[in-house]
Structure formats: C-alpha cells, structure tokens
C-alpha cells in the first residue's frame, strides 16, 4: 500500500472504464489525483465517489483534443496540487472499425486528434514540469491495435501505432533527465467505449475473424493494476516500452 504516497497524477478519460479504474487505484495508493474527462456528469460522479471514500481527488472537464484545454488541465493541476509527478494519457475513442477507403476526413481527424494529438499536447506541456524536478512518469494507454493491423479500423490503428511511437521517442529522449514514458497495450476490456458506435459491417467482420482466440475481456481494474506498477518505483528500469495486457491473445 501507499506506493504513490503524496504523488500528484493526472488521469484523462477518468469518468469511466480504464481511466476511472486507474484514478481509483492511484488514489488508493496515496496519490493526489486530477480526474479529467470530456463528459462532466459521469466525471463528477466518479470524483464524488472517491471523495466520499476520503481520497484526495479533484476533477476538471477538458477536451483532450483541444490544445488550450490540455494546457489548462496541466496548469490547473500544478496550481491546485502544487506540482505534477505522473501523467496518464488514457482518453481515447474508437473508429467503428472503418476500413481506409470508407474513412471520412472528419472521422480521421477526430480519432487522430483524441488518440494521438491529445496525448502529445499533454506530454509536451508536462515534460517541462518534469524537467524542472528531474523526474516524472508518463503512461500512455495504447492498444494491441497499435501493435497489429486487424484489431480496429484504419484511423484507430494508425493513432495507436503513432502513440506507441511517441512513447518510444519520449522514453529515449528524456531518460537521462529522469523521465520515464511507457505504454500499455490492452486487448479487449470491459468498458463503454463502443456505447455509441455505428459499426462498419465489413470492417467489423474482418476484425472479428481473429477474435476466436481471445480467452476473455479484461476488467478495467486489471489494467489499472498494471498502470500502478508502471507508475511506481518498482518499474524504475522500464522506459520507452509497451506492455501488452491481453491474456495471451496476441501470442497466437
């Protein structure tokens, strides 16, 4: 217990699913957590639940795809808690399994903005804070879709491949300054990410052809436990890498 005592963390996409589980797990381990999400009502509910349990948490609604809102998130976290030690870029959206020929400019731009540009904005804003203190941890929640080509549509796949590349670059470039940057690549996880999806039939059929070997979907808490390890000092020599958490699905 208390692996993150008095550490200050930002978790994006924290109103539900993996982000909510990570925020809760970090708070349980003593961190002061800024929960952020685009959706105000579930964000407030998630934050209030943690406050009622006595945890040190705060909430800020922000659209991760907008640079000015990301900058505000970092600035207000530093102002509210007095610093920043950990950044978890979890917010993300799917692309309805849409193949490249059917991807509209709007879909492409929206998915890349949330899944790749948003984490980049957050990293770019947080790194100077980390450089001043010669330490900091970044965790990017990617996907096995960022490692292979058949787990989603073209936009999502490209965005998560890009996020993993960004993770490697940051991890390498800033390692001498005490900054660690790693990614988690989950397989299927029981979340609401597909709640409002309009699935592309052909794209889904191609993706679904490879799911028979998936033993089950993970619970968000299982991914949160991995995030806790990566955030802790126990993972001090893990940097610039991607940890796959898919129950062995991609081992086939």
Q: What is the pLDDT of residue 199?
A: 82
Q: What is the pLDDT of residue 252?
A: 80
d(CA 134, CA 123): 15
Do the domain assignments include residue 140?
A: yes
Give yes or no for a contact between 119 and 163, defined as CB atoms under 8 angstroms apart: yes
Domain with 140 in it: 8-251
Do the domain assignments include residue 166?
A: yes
- Count: domains in the chain: 1
Domain with 54 in it: what CATH number? 3.40.50.720
Average confidence (pLDDT) per 10 residues, the chain, 252 residues: 94 97 98 98 97 98 98 98 98 95 98 98 98 98 95 96 98 98 94 74 69 82 97 98 94 83
Q: What is the pLDDT of residue 194?
A: 65
Do the domain assignments include residue 1?
A: no
252 is catalytic: no
Within 13 Å and on the Cβ side, how many CA atoms surround 61?
8
Q: What is the pLDDT of residue 128?
A: 98
Give yes or no for a contact between 91 and 139, defined as CB atoms under 8 angstroms apart: no
Catalytic pick among 55, 121, 148, 156 = 156
Do the domain assignments include residue 61?
A: yes
Do the domain assignments include residue 3?
A: no
For the entire predicted model, the pTM comes to 0.94
Q: What is the pLDDT of residue 96?
A: 93
């Amino acid at each position: 217990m208390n692996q993150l005592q008095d550490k200050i963390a930002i978790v994006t996409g924290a109103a539900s699913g993996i982000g909510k589980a990570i925020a809760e797990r970090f708070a349980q381990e003593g961190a002061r957590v800024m929960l952020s999400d685009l959706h105000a009502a579930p964000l407030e509910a998630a934050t209030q639940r943690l406050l009622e349990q006595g945890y040190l948490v705060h909430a800020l609604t922000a659209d991760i795809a907008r640079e000015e809102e990301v900058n505000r998130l970092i600035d207000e976290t530093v102002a509210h808690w007095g610093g920043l030690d950990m950044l978890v870029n979890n917010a993300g959206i799917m692309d309805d399994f849409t193949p490249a020929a059917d991807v509209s400019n709007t879909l492409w731009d929206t998915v890349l903005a949330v899944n790749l540009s948003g984490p980049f904005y957050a990293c770019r804003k947080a790194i100077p804070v980390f450089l001043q203190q010669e330490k900091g941890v970044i965790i990017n929640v990617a996907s096995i879709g960022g490692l292979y080509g058949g787990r989603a549509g073209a936009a999502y796949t490209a965005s998560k491949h890009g996020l993993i590349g960004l993770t490697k670059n940051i991890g390498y470039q800033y390692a001498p300054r005490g900054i660690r940057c790693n990614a988690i690549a989950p397989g299927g996880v029981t979340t609401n990410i597909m709640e409002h999806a309009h699935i592309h039939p052909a794209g889904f059929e191609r993706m679904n052809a490879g799911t028979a070997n998936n033993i089950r979907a993970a619970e968000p808490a299982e991914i949160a436990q991995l995030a806790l390890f990566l955030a802790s000092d126990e993972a001090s020599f893990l940097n610039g890498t991607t940890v796959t958490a898919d129950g062995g699905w991609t081992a086939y």
